[in-house]
């Protein structure tokens, strides 16, 4: 078993990994830059080390992080998600230094990170993929010809992209001419690569992803699916497990596809295979070679601690479960509570949290690194907490979600919580009928009230006075 793990991340996912390490008797090492000096992951880890004043440079320096792991006696690094989690060079450097990378091999990260290579691998394994380019596009002329052949609309995508960036939908040749240089520019800035490819746009699909686990002994299983269709501009907002929109036959089929995909590329550790569903047609979209933000809801319905399994797999141990051991029970929702103002085009709302009260009760989980008095820095992702609710039935989980969102008190910044209440009230969502166009098709959901109850106003005033008085 691993003895000491450096966590190459920050915020709630770093706290999540610290907790898993503590339960397994593994020492945890946190890293931080100056804005995170008072971060919860720094307070909770067994050891912590500064990476300097620059908010981002330290978290993005593979050599420095790996060297620090060696210097502090760590035998493994957990990358979390974001930052260097899907950086093949980072994983390769760990391999060279004899430090276990808690994730797949560097070659797999590279292969799945290159979207055209990933499509080739899935095609060879018999996994259905969307029609599109068989490699990277070399010119606008090639893009126009291919789009004409497969039919509009089409999606231009950065080959090395991820996280919803480097993607543009084009409905006409004119739009393609405009968006082609934009995607190349965005891809170059965000991912350091100008390579792009094209896929047929699956109009109004459901976005379904499957959680997989695989060990070094060749065992691979799935933990059922998550429905991530509630998204805005390719950024997920609310995630659901399992999908209320799949039949048992579809669930088994897509789960089997995910396991086949994992075995085809020699996958190890936790990962996610993402699909687009249109009617009964299933299309592979991508494989995420890391733990997902929304792993929480899979844990809620299956009882499997995914991060614990990651640590076991990285220790060379076999999976704790066989496929027949995995069952799911009930439904779970995850709300990404972002520091954003939905009424102002989701503009980030960074600043000091003057008062925070976490919701609780049966079937409620909160993963976060915030606290009253915490200053949300403007340098990182705007998500400040993940609210997860579980219940036996679909109607009950919606009711629990509404109650938990109403329980939460988070003052000093604007958040997406009230907007999510509106989504839960919508008849189509309550019926479990939605796809990736749900958010853009319902702009009226932004017309919610921002008036506070008198007790909330009094509480916010008291918190502000206490903060200025130094209580």
Catalytic positions: 290
- Contact of 36 with 377, CB cutoff 8 Å: yes
Question: Residues with Cβ < 8 Å from 424, sequence gap 6 or more?
Answer: 398, 401, 402, 405, 430
Counting runs of H as helices and runs of E as strands, what totals does the chain give?
A: 16, 22
Q: Which two tokens stand for residue 61?
A: 């320096």
Q: How far apart (Å, rounded) are the C-alpha atoms in residues 385 and 397?
A: 19
Q: How far apart (Å, rounded) are the C-alpha atoms in residues 335 and 264?
A: 33
Q: How far apart (Å, rounded) are the C-alpha atoms in residues 443 and 273?
A: 30
C-alpha distance from residue 469 to each of 114, 217, 371, 463, 465 (Å): 54, 60, 18, 10, 6
Give yes or no for a cis peptide into 415 (omega within 30° of 0): no
- Contact of 352 with 374, CB cutoff 8 Å: yes
- Contact of 202 with 283, CB cutoff 8 Å: yes
Q: How far apart (Å, rounded) are the C-alpha atoms in residues 31 and 39?
A: 10
C-alpha distance from residue 443 to each of 265, 422, 439, 440, 450 (Å): 41, 11, 7, 6, 16
- Contact of 9 with 340, CB cutoff 8 Å: no
Residue 78: strand pairing partners: 7
């Amino acid at each position: 078993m691993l003895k000491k793990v450096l966590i190459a991340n920050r915020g709630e996912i770093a706290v999540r990994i610290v907790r898993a390490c503590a339960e397994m008797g593994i020492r945890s090492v946190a890293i931080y830059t100056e804005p995170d000096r008072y971060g919860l992951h720094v307070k909770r880890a067994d050891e912590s080390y500064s990476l300097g004043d620059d908010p981002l440079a330290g978290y993005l320096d593979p050599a420095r992080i790996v060297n620090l792991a060696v210097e502090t006696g760590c035998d493994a690094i957990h990358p979390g998600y974001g930052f260097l989690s899907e950086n093949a060079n980072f994983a390769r450097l760990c391999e060279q230094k004899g430090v276990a990378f808690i994730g797949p091999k560097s070659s797999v990260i590279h292969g799945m990170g290159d979207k055209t290579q990933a499509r080739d691998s899935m095609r060879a394994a018999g996994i259905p993929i969307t029609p599109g380019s068989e490699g990277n596009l070399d010119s606008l002329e090639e893009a126009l010809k291919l789009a004409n052949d497969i039919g509009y609309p089409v999606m231009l995508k950065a080959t090395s992209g991820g996280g919803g960036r480097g993607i543009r939908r084009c409905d006409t040749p004119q739009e393609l001419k405009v968006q082609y240089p934009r995607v190349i520019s965005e891809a170059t800035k965000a991912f350091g690569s100008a390579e792009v490819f094209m896929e047929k746009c699956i109009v109004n699909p459901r976005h379904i992803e499957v959680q997989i686990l695989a060990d070094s002994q060749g065992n691979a299983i799935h933990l059922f699916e998550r429905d991530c269709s509630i998204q805005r501009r390719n950024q997920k907002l609310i995630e659901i497990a399992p999908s209320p929109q799949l039949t048992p036959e579809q669930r088994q089929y897509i789960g089997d596809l995910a396991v086949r995909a994992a075995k085809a590329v020699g996958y190890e550790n936790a990962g996610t295979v993402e699909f687009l569903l249109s009617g009964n047609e299933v299309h592979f979209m991508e494989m995420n070679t890391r733990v997902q933000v929304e792993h929480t809801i899979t844990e809620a319905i299956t009882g499997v601690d995914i991060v614990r399994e990651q640590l076991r797999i990285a220790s060379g141990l076999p999976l704790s479960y066989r496929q027949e051991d995995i069952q799911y029970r009930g439904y779970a929702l995850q709300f990404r509570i972002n520091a954003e103002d939905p009424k102002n085009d989701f503009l980030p709302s960074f600043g000091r949290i003057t008062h925070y009260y976490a919701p609780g009760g049966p079937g409620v989980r909160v993963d976060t690194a915030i606290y009253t008095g915490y200053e949300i820095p403007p340098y990182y992702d705007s998500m400040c907490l993940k609210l997860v609710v579980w219940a036996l039935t679909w109607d009950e989980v919606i009711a629990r979600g509404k109650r938990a969102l109403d329980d939460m008190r988070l003052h000093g910044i604007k958040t997406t919580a009230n907007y999510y209440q509106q989504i839960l009230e919508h008849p189509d969502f309550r019926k479990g009928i939605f796809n990736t166009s749900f958010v853009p098709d319902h702009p009226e959901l932004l017309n919610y009230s921002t008036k506070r109850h008198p007790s909330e106003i009094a509480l916010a005033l008291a918190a502000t006075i206490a903060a200025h008085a130094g209580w």
